[in-house]
Amino acid sequence: MDSSSLLPSQWSDLPLDILELISDRLDHDSSDTIHLLCLRSVCATWRLSLPLSNKNNRLSKFPKYLPFWSSSSSSSGFFTLKQSNIYKLEAPLNPRTCLVKLQETTPGIMRVLDLFSNDRICFLPENFPSKIDLQEFHVRLVRRTYRMEYANNGGGAVPCFWSLHSDKVVILSSGEDSAIIAIHSGGKLGFLKSGNDEKWKILDNSWNVIYEDIMLYKDNRCIVVDDKGKTVIYDVDFKVSDLAEGLVGGGGHKKHLVECSGGEVFLVDKYVKTVWCKSDISKSVVEFRVYNLKREEKRWEEVRDLGDVALFIGDDCSFSVQNPAGDLAGGFIFYSDYRNGGRSRGICSDGDGVFNVDMQGDFVFSIKPNYFGP
């Protein structure tokens, strides 16, 4: 046997046509730039051969400027669609992991956002790296989120009942068909399809229905829940099916949808209660109840034990992480907490809370655990 055949293969010698096939397959399977960055980080030859662009980015299916909700000529503003991604970073020699939320401003350049909101973190900790070496970290995409921001280009005043932004946005895609579905204007559900007639339409304009959360489910469907817990599912053709009846009594103050591993769907119901202390000073207390979707029975079943799963409840999306490492383990719900005067913009906020599902108790932590990144 030729001794040269025993030498390890050199990735840099991979034929260019095979490398392009890998890149095209990656484009087809994912719209995440991080995957392209990981592929390009293998060697210098690959970095020179592969362009830092993603032909399958879902934002490219829609114009740069989206029309405003209202068709009134008095409003000449528009929406811009923004994407951010939540990643789990793991170092091979470090058992602790880190969650970061990034928004790509230019190809390969990321902006760090607050994990629970879309606020930019302007002042990063001194030990936070300015560059993340993808050869030293295993990077996994946890959740992709979208939001719309309004920009007024000098037109007339916008009626106060129209939303100027939407944090509840999903993009459905099936073949050549793509659509944006968003919750706006007091809980109404609107959609916009890519193509020639790009105008917002209302899916359900019932006066007594207020939608509170929306979640992408298996790429080409979305699940929507209203303020009473009634849940439906839409496909890319906007065909709707019932998933679950509402909660008894309507439940709490705010509903959130979370997808867990294996496709399980959780409903996290948030209650804000007022209690009186010994000093006769009122204090608000946050409580959560978690429900698991029973699809065959079309109902929500309460869950008292999350096991090794931690839930994260944000303004624009909610997600789960299984068997989290670090200071806090599974069985907790992490959320944005506005009870202490709101969140501090541009810094590590002191308004984040954690709820223990087993103990049914909550507290606000002033310093984020290392698990949350910056």
Q: What is the DSSP string of 255-276?
A: EEEEE-GGG-EEEEEEEEEEEE
Query: What are 240's two structure tokens?
Result: 């709707």
User: For residue 255, what pLDDT is reported?
Assistant: 95
User: For residue 367, what pLDDT is reported?
Assistant: 38
User: For residue 317, what pLDDT is reported?
Assistant: 87
| 62-71 average pLDDT score | 72
Percent of the chain exceeding pLDDT 70 equals: 68
| 124-149 average pLDDT score | 77
Nearest to 79 by CA among 180, 151, 145: 151
Higher pLDDT: 15 or 128? It is: 15
| 340-348 average pLDDT score | 40
Kindly calculate the radius of gyration of the chain based on its CA atoms and give it in whole angstroms.
23
106-136 pLDDT, tens digit each: 777 788 888 888 788 877 777 666 677 777 7
Alpha helix (H) residue ranges in the chain: 16-29, 33-40, 44-49
Q: Identify the residue whose tokens are 């129209």.
A: 162
Out of 24-33, 42-51, 57-66, 197-206, pick the least confident: 24-33
Out of 127-141, 296-310, 326-340, pick the least confident: 326-340
Q: pTM of the prediction?
A: 0.80
Contact 265, 259 (CB under 8 A): yes
* Cβ count within 10 A of residue 74: 10
Out of 137-141, 174-178, 338-342, pick the least confident: 338-342
In sequence order, the 6+-apart residues with CB closer than 8 A to the CB of 80 are: 64, 65, 66, 148, 149, 151
User: For residue 9, what pLDDT is reported?
Assistant: 57
The residue extents of the domains of the chain are: 15-54, 60-372
244-288 pLDDT, tens digit each: 999 998 998 899 999 988 889 999 999 887 655 555 555 567 889
